[in-house]
Amino acid sequence: MFLDKRSLDMMKILIQHPQIKSKELETLLSLTRRQINYSVQKINDSLETLQLPKIQRSQNGHFIVDKQITDYLTKSSFSIAAEKTYYIPTERERILYLILYLVAKTEDVSLTHVAEILEVSKNTALNDLKLANETLKEFDLEILYSRVTGYNIVGEEIKIRKLIRVMISKLLNVYQGNDSIARITDISIDQAHDEIKSIEKKLNLHYTDQSFEIMSYVILLNERRVDQGHLLELNFHHGLLEMNRTKEFRITCEMLGKYKNWPQQEKEWLVLQFLTASLQYTDVEEMEDDTLVAAISDMVRLFEEKSYVTIEDKKTFINKLLLHLRPAYYRLKYHLTFDSDTYHHFIEGNESYSLLFNLIKEVVIPIEKLIHEKIPKNELSLISFFFGAELMRQGITLDNKVYALVVCANGISISKILRLTLSKLFPNFVFLPALSIREFKKYQKRYDIVFTTVPINSDKPVFLVNALMTDVEKTSLSHQVLKELGLKDDQFSIEEVMKVVKNHTTVTDEIALRRALEKLIVQQIQTENDRNSIDATLPSLEHYFSDEVIQIVDQVTDWKEAIRVACQPLLDKNAITPDYIEALIEQNDTSETYSFLGKEMAIPHAATEKGVISDSFAMLILKKPVLFRNNKKVSIVTPLAIYNQTLHLKAVNQLAGLAEDNERITRLLSAKDPFEAFQVIKNESQESIV
């Protein structure tokens, strides 16, 4: 633990003046009793990790400092007269130092070595070794003891190399971490500094100070591992060879001649250190990443669409994002990042950035598709900062937007359709992620309005809506919401239009005219908001079905068997894992979360990570209905396996239309075979308008 100036001054006084009282200490240091107690607790926490006696207080208020404390601090070069702060590492920090020491070792390491390097007793050293082994489980590594070579970290070399990056990165953030790393590893980074500076000049870029330091240590420790015969596995990159085409690869291999005899995989790993290092500056015009630039451009476009904010100098902003995202791209693609809460803690503590963060999670899809990886929350937080800084530069705030929550009890897909419908109906609102009823009850962040499919209590305006709204319902809802919030409705009111028409002509069917006008207004709204929509390109319901995934049976024993039987075609075609079926059963084993459409259809579905391999639907038609947990009688069970989170929306909307069409449902239930049932589905797909 870092003994700050206050705690250090207190330690000096306590050692110089044994038996001092709290009141005297308050006067000497000009502190309150609360501040004194806090610093004493901080000092005692550090002493406890070193297995030293804590500072005590006698009954008459004197502080008591055990002689062991004075002796330890004296042996550790602690000087009462010294001006520099003494640093006592926390237990967690000692573990990091211990791991780095074992990775970088140049000699056999015994328990005595560990105790000496950490400046602790052998008992503490043994405990630290156990805790270090627990930490290493995250990396799939472990510490083993050999009588010949002492303590060693064993496991795949690529995992050890990744471990080095993480340890160096974390320890450089520790007080006096740079000095401690140099002492523990016994390396000087001056030469590495010079090499990196030369490469920076050749590449016309400048790494951040933190990346510069991390690379210096990582490069030299990699060199030590290679010299000791610890080589990377040949296929550590799993065939991802695109780094060979980068300027970094050409320049680095050309300039670092001492590595020319290294195995190819070691050269590639060396180059990755440069590719994944964060940049302070670069000539972005020369960067060779057209696909990444395209993905970033798509991300910015999505941000503008969802936030209704225009980025003014888009080209410059995209270049700035590229500056940050290019290293992140390689870190993520080569699995060289470990998610943490370093930046996300700030996001969670700031309402404006929390709102922005939720928006960024939705617009990074083009990047995630490019790297085939989910972006960790810490990286998402950094991207949020970039967008936040740009909005501030333009004098824009998201605080004056209307933030809308969607609460839907009908499951993931229906929630998405409802949210999509509402976002088109209210294009100037910022729609937060859809919530279940239970999630809403726990939701404590900002929102201004709620759209819900079930009655709920809130101190904000609540609008009860159907999951699948008709045109008339959309028009009515639009007027209600805008009136409630005191916002301007850009559409002419139907009453105004009706009045004008009546003044200039004879209306023979007022009801029909009103409905026609309502439909016209809805179409106008949708036309305005669908200009950039990709709905027309989304697969229809027919795309997800064939007679091979449709089954017709007389009856099943219960709803659980209905789900298992319905999912079997998906399992047979490797669209799901067996775990997905169990996840559906577990998720539906409650009266609250069950998803259904219309009067007859259930659509069990769960998150992708529960066991979805590819997009696919299936259907089980029961001649005798089965009772689900929510007492809903169901004759059609349609499990959905959703891998891509947007492609299925049109199909599910059409499925909802089918479920609401009593005539087609009757035809499905009376189908003699799967082929006939598929024709009913096919007709719905062709006739529906999305």
* pLDDT given for residue 72 in this prediction: 73
Task: Report the range out of 35-49, 184-198, 512-526 with the highest average pLDDT.
Answer: 184-198
User: 259-303 pLDDT, tens per residue?
Assistant: 878 888 888 888 888 888 877 766 645 555 678 889 999 999 888
Residue in the block written with tokens 């970094």: 248
Q: What is the CATH number of the domain that holds 36?
A: 1.10.10.10
Judge if 49 and 164 occupy the same domain.
no
Please state the domain count of the chain: 6
For residue 238, is it within any domain?
yes
Task: Report if residue 536 sits inside a domain.
Answer: no
Model confidence pLDDT, tens digit, residues 566-583: 999 999 999 999 999 998
Q: Is 626 in the same domain as 488?
A: no
Question: Which of 68-82, 184-198, 227-241 is the least confident region?
Answer: 68-82
Instruction: Please name the amino acid found at residue 37.
Output: N
482 in a structural domain: yes
Residue 313 vs residue 619, higher pLDDT: 619
Spatial separation of the C-alpha atoms in residues 26 and 34, rounded to whole Å: 10
CA atoms within a 13 Å half-sphere pointing along the CA-CB vector of 442: 4
The pLDDT-based confidence of 160 (bands split at 50, 70, 90) is very high
Q: Which residues contact 555 (CB under 8 A, 6 or more apart)?
A: 622, 623, 624, 626
CATH number at residue 442: 3.40.50.2300
| Higher pLDDT, residue 347 or 263 | 263
Residues 315, 359 within the same domain: yes
Condensed to tens digits (0 to 9), the pLDDT of residues 53-63 reads: 888 887 777 78
- Domain identity same for 164 and 207: no
Write the CA distances from 58 to 32, 65, 74, integer angstroms.
20, 11, 25
CA 356 from chain center: how many Å? 13
In contact, 21 and 62? CB cutoff 8 Å:
yes
- Mark which of 244, 279, 314 sits at the end of a domain: 279
Residues 680, 550, single domain; the answer is yes
Model confidence pLDDT, tens digit, residues 306-315: 776 778 888 8
Look at residue 14 and give its three-state secondary structure. helix
φ, ψ of residue 373 to 5 degrees: the values are: -145, 150
Q: Buried b / exposed e across 131-169, counting CB within 10 Å, b at 16+?
A: ebbebbeebebebeeeeeebbbbeeebbebbbbbbbbbb
Domain of residue 383 covers: 284-393
- Which of the four pLDDT bands, split at 50, 70 and 90, describes residue 326? confident
Last residue of a domain, one of 150, 167, 185: 185
Structure tokens at 382: 């950094």
Residue at token pair 């696919």 = 616
- 335 pLDDT above the threshold of 70: yes
Pairing of strands 205-207, 279-282: antiparallel
Average model confidence (pLDDT) across the chain: 80
- Closest by alpha carbon to 558, among 633, 617, 665? 633
| 496/524: higher pLDDT | 496
Residues 137 and 204 in one domain: no
Tell me if 202 is assigned to some domain: yes
Would you say the C-alpha torsion 202, 207, 211, 214 has a positive or negative sign? positive
Q: Which amino acid is at 618?
A: A
pLDDT tens readout for residues 99-123: 999 999 999 999 999 998 888 889 9
What's the rounded mean pLDDT across residues 419-441?
Answer: 79
Pair (552, 668) in one structural domain: yes
- What value does the CA radius of gyration of the chain take, rounded to a whole number of Å? 32
**Residue 582, domain CATH:** 3.40.930.10
User: Are residue 148 and residue 39 in the same domain, yes or no?
Assistant: no
Instruction: Return the biggest CA–CA distance within the chain.
Output: 105
**Do 284 and 205 meet the contact criterion of CB atoms below 8 Å apart?**
no
Mean pLDDT of 152-166: 92
Q: CB 503: neighbour CB atoms within 10 A?
A: 7
Examine residue 293 and state whether it is found in any structural domain, yes or no.
Answer: yes
Give residue 605's Cα distance to chain centre: 22
Residue 81 lies in a domain: no
Q: Map tokens 């043994």 to a residue.
A: 126
567 & 683 share domain: yes
Query: DSSP label at 454?
Result: S
pLDDT at residue number 534: 39
> Is residue 676's pLDDT more than 70?
yes
Contact by Cβ (8 Å): 3, 86: yes
Note whether residue 225 is domain-resident: yes
pLDDT tier at 531, thresholds 50, 70, 90: very low
Please report whether residue 681 resides in a domain: yes
Last residue of a domain, one of 529, 557, 587: 529
Q: Quick one: how far is CA 232 from the chain centroid?
A: 29
Say whether both 497 and 586 belong to one domain: no
Whether residues 101 and 139 share a domain: the answer is yes
* Percent of the chain whose predicted confidence (pLDDT) is above 70: 81
CB atoms inside a 10 Å sphere around CB 96: 23
Same structural domain for residues 194 and 179?
no
